[in-house]
Amino acid sequence: MVTFTKEMKEGLRVPGKGGSLVYLCTSSLDGKPNIAAMRFVATHMDDKILIADMFLLKTKMNIKENPEVAVAICHPLEEGRWWVFRGKAVDIEYGFPRDFDWYGANATDILNEWGNWNKSEPPDEVPPDIVFPKAAQRGVVVIHVEEAYSIEPGHAGEKIL
Amino acid sequence: MTVKLTERMQAWIETMGCHLCVATPQGVPYVTLGRFASVTADDEVAFALAQDEYGIISTALKTNPWVALGVSKQGGIRASFQFKGIGRVVTQGPLFTGIAAEAKEAQGIDTYAVIYVKVSEIYCTKPGAEAGQRLDMMTPDEVCEWEKKRWQDIPRKNTK
């Protein structure tokens, strides 16, 4: 069982609140990798990363057949956020049983707090030529983190959680 | 289809480097940084990796050559693309020494392995209606026009 550090919790928030843009890395069951940048990110409990299911396609398909994922900080790295988190993910979509549990995370709690993420933490910092015209959230990806390693040059691969 | 990285794509990749995602044949993903990137052909990018950076992906890459690339740093938002292709590891010979020398001079990297990724798939990752759109189904000229209508910013080499 891992426990996020204070710095990790601060870094795993939306960029507009001092957090980070992250890469969510998934794979099909037969090993074809996929990497996609995510803006809506948060932590829950001491070992869960949450990411909005907003415009997910291949990522969603991969998670539905293979829960193994990695989350890496994309930007800013130079603030010491050389982290890659590995663990198991589920996409808690609206329609899931409200008592669904993912390693201690409850579907009702997750959807109540992060189910309308665009309203609670609007992407005001995202450039107008990138931001989406209309939010379309289907759920919340919950990642139960089991380990983390560094990608800091000179220390890449070292276990940090 | 013919894949050709646009001038803007090439600039973002070379200026920012990339996050390299690989996976085991069973689907366990691993990520490392390709801090130094050099576009070596219209559809090929070489990354110079130090020993520790290569060590993260070496086991998976030996059994599964697929590599997915996302541009690092600000490129994660400004360069809204995902590139996928087959990776080839080179640890000696002229294909190694040339890239290694460039990486040493540019970023002081002691290169252990050079990963050449032959890009065969390009996806738009801009959030919204075009998320997931495959761009490599267009001709190279069509991709250029498509991109120019949306973005024209090209990063400077000294941007960190």
Q: For residue A29, what are the domain limits?
A: 6-150
pLDDT digit string, tens, across residues B25-37: 999 999 999 999 9
pLDDT digit string, tens, across residues A149-160: 999 999 999 999
Asked if pLDDT for residue B157 goes beyond 70, the answer is no
Return the residue in B22, B33, B130 with the most chain A beta carbons within 10 A, the one to mutate for interface testing. B33
* pLDDT at site B14: 98
Q: ipTM score of the complex?
A: 0.97
Interface list for A 21-60 with B (CB within 8 A): 21, 23, 25-37, 39, 54-55, 57-58
- Measured between beta carbons, which residues in chain B are less than 8 angstroms from residue A37? 70, 76-77, 80, 125
Domain ranges (residues) in chain B? 7-145
Q: Is residue A112 part of a domain?
A: yes
Angle at Cα B23 formed by Cα A47 and Cα A49, nearest 5°? 15
Question: CB contact, 8 Å: B6 with chain A?
Answer: no
pTM of the model: 0.97
- CA dist A24 and B88 (Å) reads 23
Arithmetic mean of pLDDT over chain B? 96
User: Is B29's CB within 8 Å of A25's CB?
Assistant: yes
Which residues have CB under 8 Å from B109's CB, separation 6+? A153, B35, B36, B48, B49, B50, B100, B103
- Measured between beta carbons, which residues in chain B are less than 8 angstroms from residue A158? 52
Q: Which fold has domain B7-145?
A: Pnp Oxidase; Chain A (2.30.110)
pLDDT digit string, tens, across residues B27-80: 999 999 999 999 999 999 999 999 999 999 999 999 999 999 999 999 999 999
- Cβ atoms A52, A92 nearer than 8 A: no
* pLDDT at site A136: 92
As a whole number of angstroms, the longest Cα–Cα distance in chain A is: 45
- Cβ atoms A16, A121 nearer than 8 A: yes
* pLDDT at site A42: 98
Q: pLDDT band at B158, cuts 50/70/90? A: low
User: What would the DSSP string read from start to end of A53-113?
Assistant: EES-SHHHHHHHH--EEEEEEEE--TTT--EEEEEEEEEEEBTB-TT-EETTEEHHHHHHH
Give the count of domains, chain A: 1
User: Is A127's CB within 8 Å of B52's CB?
Assistant: no
Q: Is residue A1 part of a domain?
A: no
pLDDT digit string, tens, across residues A41-61: 999 999 999 999 999 999 999
Instruction: Look at the block and give the residue holding tokens 């996609």.
Output: A36
The H or E element containing residue B122 is strand B113-124
* Domain CATH for A112: 2.30.110.10
Return the residue in B15, B18, B24, B30 with the most chain A beta carbons within 10 A, the one to mutate for interface testing. B30
